[in-house]
Structure 1
């Protein structure tokens, strides 16, 4: 099963821009940190710009966060880059003639909707600042 890393990459990009402001913030440089290609970084940055989390000018490698990291929630970032906002997905191709296959979809959709609400509430409570602080603490622990 293929899964998307756009969300974690978007958090990575925003943290990089904040922590390395004033340095080379080109998509090439950021892509080196994410270990991906610059076009992918530009696509994510475009989504972050459209949602109002990032400001940048074409041709100038100086993107900036539009709000302080403490004012950007993980839910803000998730909503910016993941167009399909559901975290969990029900398999729609089950046997309707089977007791389980014919009934599991409705049960799981209700369960998944409840989980989605709880996860989004948690994501809204966690700021980009807390992620940045975790990165800095982890880096400091490694250097000791």
Structure 2
């Protein structure tokens, strides 16, 4: 269902921020935890900010904090911000109409993918950033 690793990185970042609770977290601190370049973190932070999941303060004394309590941010919220409404793609070009497989493939696949996507969304709506943080701290 996920088109790349950005969802996992975004959840990682939000859990990292939630662990600090009161302090603002820098992109460099998050990048160290994720083990990636701070530029990657900043790109995802921009999306999270546009999605109203974080608030960022630029500058030397700046950083990022959650826009609301961690128990009020679901993984489905993150999914919508990072993946958009539909996280699957079908054929880029129209399959052959003269072939029985080509003619019928898109409607069949679309139905299956919509069903799978609904199951993913339902499951993600059950978990919050706080839930993930609790599980991380238990290990």
TM band (smaller chain): 0.7 to 0.9
The 10-residue stretch of structure 1 (27-36 or 114-123) with the greater mean CA deviation from structure 2: 114-123
Is 1:29 matched with 2:29? yes
Contact 1:92 1:105 (C-alpha < 8 Å) held by counterparts: no
Structure 2 equivalent of residue 101 of structure 1: 102
Match of 1:113 in 2: 114
Higher normalized contact order (CA 8 Å, seq sep 6+, divided by chain length): 2
TM-score, with structure 2 as normaliser: 0.85
Deviations 1:53-107 (A, max 9, x none): 1112111333111211111110101111224x32332234444332112211111
Shift of 1:23: 5.9
Aligned residues: 135
Report if aligned partners of 2:54, 2:64 keep a CA contact under 8 Å in 1. Answer: yes
What is the rounded CA distance, in whole Å, between the counterparts of 2:50 and 2:57 in structure 1? 13
The answer for the alignment partner of 1:6 in structure 2 is 6
Structure 1: stretches of 5+ with no match in the other structure: 139-144
Which structure 2 segments of 5+ residues have no match?
Answer: none
Residue 64 of structure 1 aligns to a residue whose secondary structure is strand
1:51-130 map, 5 Å: 51-59=51-59, 60-83=61-84, 85-93=85-93, 94-130=95-131
> 1:17 and 1:61 mapped to 2: Cα distance?
13
Determine if contact 1:27/1:61 at 8 Å carries over to the other structure: no
How does the TM-score come out when normalised to structure 1?
0.83
